[in-house]
Each structure stands twice: as structure tokens, then as C-alpha cells.
Amino acid sequence: MSNARKKLRVLYSFPHKLGAGRICTTAWHQIAGAASAGVEMTVYCGSLVRRLPPSVAVHTTLSWRTLRIPYRLLGTRLACALHDQIVARKLKQMAGRFDIVHVWPLAAARTIKAACQLGMISVLERPNAHTRFAYEVVQQECRKLGISMPPGHEHEFNAKLLHHEELEYELADYLLCPSEFVARTFLDRGFAPRKLARHQYGFDDKVYFAAAPPRAVNPGLTMIFVGGCAPRKGLHYALDAWLHSSASKTGSFLIAGAFIPGYADLLSRQLSHPSVKVLGHRTDIADLMRQSDVLTLPSIEEGSALVTSEARGCGCVLLVSDAAGAICRDGKDGFIHAARDVDMLRQHIDSLDQQPELLAQMRKSSLSTINEITWTAAGLRLAKIYQAVTEERRPEPAAI
């Protein structure tokens, strides 16, 4: 950030175990990236699993020293509500200390209201598509397949949770959307374009890096799928496309991830094909990616799947749907197909299987620009968004 500009002060509120897996990793990297870009970050999190840079002030709401309030005891919603209440109260005690409040779903409403009273700008993280859209498309897909989401699953319809999240959407000044797909699900619901701020997620280039020297071109394409094996990820579409492609005769399709109940049974015939290797949950994902030529993610709904950038870092060419939220250029870094379009995905698999020179060219192109999708690059982009929203709208403090 320019020295001529005032250093931005951000209160970052995250109700979960910061630095743990999934979104907890995403939040950790966002904070570290924004701090390295020159933003003054103050963090309130449920608990801290991984240390942040010394410049970041960290406060925990659901833990004290070695003592932690068990999330399982409270339940996620109650834990988030308690965190939100604590942060809102702290924020009112620190009036004038911050320019922006960055909040996460289910722990945002009270904090946003407090920020509004203090004349501060609020930005709400949207790690996935509009929740109503996500519920609808997952329900449609499950009905088509004849299965149901497991009780308590994050994509099982929950009217109370949906109402709460939609309230947060309305209260927040800006929604941080990590992909054009996510932004489109909000535009389609009537949200104003100016309310949607497009940022991006990244990947850890210390973990996800390509093999050196480059992987040799071997006979037979190796395609990998990484993620939770559930209808929203579109694995059934990937299997259909693979088994109708030339690659299934000499190549391998690796599936790394755990299946929801009933889904593997539904796909048992496809999964039993000799070219398909079901690996289950794995902790060596980076190594598996380095052994693969392409990563497929034919999702029907996503935010911006981190696995797609991680795969690019490891040298995989992407074969993804337009709902995957992947950062890539169609025909250059990978191929993008319309969600549910099995024939288009099959054609993309065939192209890379039958033209090894095209595979090598696209891999080289993808690796040439991966510095643009690291967490460092994401942190710089987030810092610019913080700056842009403060310049666009500086609200007057409301009466308390």
C-alpha cells in the first residue's frame, strides 16, 4: 500500500478455530496476506490453532490460554452467536480504532450493527454462493439422483440458518465474493453490483509446487478429483465423462475424498471400472497432484474451490465447470465446461488425452502465471479492496 495513504485498520472477526482446516485455513491466509500488504490487522477468533505474524494482534473469544469452550458442546450456531455478541461489545468499547470490520457468516449480524452505529464499513465474507441458491441446486441434484443429504450436513436445507444468513447479507455494506460465479448468484437475487466486491483466494506455494524437473509425458492420462464426494461436487458427471472418453482405456482416474452415505452405492458400477482408483480421504494431496496430469472439478455450486489453485501450483491442468469458481483462462490454463455438461467435459478429457503436446503447452501456460494466484497475491488484492471501499463510502456515525 502506498505510504501516502493512511494505513488501514481492520478488525477481522472469525468465529472458528483459526488456522485449522478448510475455511479456517482460508481465513488464516487472508489475515497474514493482508498484514503483509500493509494493513493493520486486529483479529478476534474463536480460538487460534496456528500462530499469525507478530504484527497481527490476536484475541480469542471462545478460549483462554489452554482452556477452550468445546464447539461440540455449544453447537456451531450458538458458538457463532456468542462470538458475534462478544465482538460487537468489544467493538463498541473501541470506537474510532478501526476503519473496516471484516466478518464471516453466522457470526456477523450484531457486529455489523455495532459497526454501523460507529460509522464503520462492514464487509461480509462469502466463501460460497448465495445460500438459498446452494440449497436449491443441491436439493434438485439429490432428487434427480434419488438420494438425500445426511442430517446436519452443511448443504441440508435449514430454514433458520438461511434466514439468519440472508439478514447478514442485507446488513453488510459489502459482500466479498471470491468468484464471478458467487457474485452472479447474488446479482440474480437482485443485489446491486456496487455491493459485491470481487476478491480472490490463493494457494500455499510452499506446499503446492510442481515437480522439478517437469513430470514426463506418460502413456495414459492421469486425472484426479479432490474433495468431498457429494452431489454438489459433480463427481457423477466426471465419472460419466471419463468412462466415455478415450482416456479410460489407458489412463487412471484418482478420487481422493470421503463419500456421503449412499453416494458411493449409487455410483458403484462406475467406481468399479479398472481405470478408477478410489483413494478415500488422503493427507498427501500435494504429492497426488504432482503425480497427476489434470484435476477435474465439475461442481454445480462452489465458492472458489481452493483445490483448483492448489492443483495449478502442482502442475495440473484444470478441467472444471463454470460453477467451480476456479481462477483460470479457458483454453490456456485449463478447460471450462458448463455445469452438468458431460459431453463437453468428455471432449476436454479426450483433447488432452489424445494431444500430449496440448497438455504440455497448457501446463506450461498455467505454471507461468501461478504467482498471480498465491495467498500473497490474494492478500494484496484484499488490501486494495479494503482501500477501495473506504474511499467509495465513508459513512457518518449513526446515533447510538
Are 21 and 154 in a shared domain?
Answer: yes
Decide if 214 is inside a domain: no
Residues 6+ away with beta carbon under 8 Å from 296: 223, 224, 225, 238, 242, 318, 319, 320, 345, 349
Q: How many Å apart are CA 373 and CA 328, to the nearest integer?
A: 10
Amino acid letter at 337? H
| Burial class of residue 188, CB neighbours in 10 A (0-12, 13-18, 19+) | exposed
27, 49 contact by CB (below 8 A): no
Mean pLDDT by 10 residues, the chain (400 residues): 70 96 96 97 96 96 73 83 96 94 97 96 97 95 93 88 96 97 97 96 97 75 97 97 98 97 97 98 96 97 94 98 96 96 98 96 96 97 96 52
Q: What is the DSSP letter of 49?
A: S
Q: Does residue 231 share a domain with residue 192?
A: no
| Among candidate residues 319, 226, 229, the one with its CA nearest the CA of residue 266 | 229
Q: Is 397 inside any structural domain?
A: no
| Pair type for strands 222-226 and 40-48 | unpaired
**285, 382: one domain:** no
Phi and psi, residue 337, nearest 5°:
-115, 160
14: in domain: yes
Instruction: Classify residue 67: in a domain, yes or no.
Output: yes
239 with 165, same domain?
no
Which domain, by its residues, includes 89?
9-202+375-392
Query: DSSP 3-state assignment of 208?
Result: coil
Position 134 in a domain? yes
Q: How many helices (H) and strands (E) does the chain have?
A: 16, 15
Give me the phi and psi of 280, to 5 degrees please: 75, -165
Shared domain for 72 and 172, answered yes or no, is yes
pLDDT at 75: 84
Per-residue confidence (pLDDT) for residue 43, from 0 to 100: 98
Domain check: are 229 and 348 in the same one?
Answer: yes
Q: Confirm whether 399 is domain-assigned.
A: no
Q: Evaluate whether residue 211 is within a structural domain.
A: no
**Is the separation of the CB atoms in 277 and 271 below 8 Å?**
no
Give the residue among 378, 223, 209, 224 at the shortest CA–CA distance from 304.
Answer: 378
- Quote the CA–CA distance of 109 and 157 in Å, as a whole number: 21
Is 4 a domain residue? no
- pLDDT for the residue 5: 56
Q: What is the CATH number of the domain that holds 323?
A: 3.40.50.2000
Whether 335 and 350 map to the same domain: the answer is: yes
Whether 62 and 37 map to the same domain: the answer is yes
Residues 156, 149: contact at Cβ < 8 Å? yes
How many domains are contained in the chain? 2
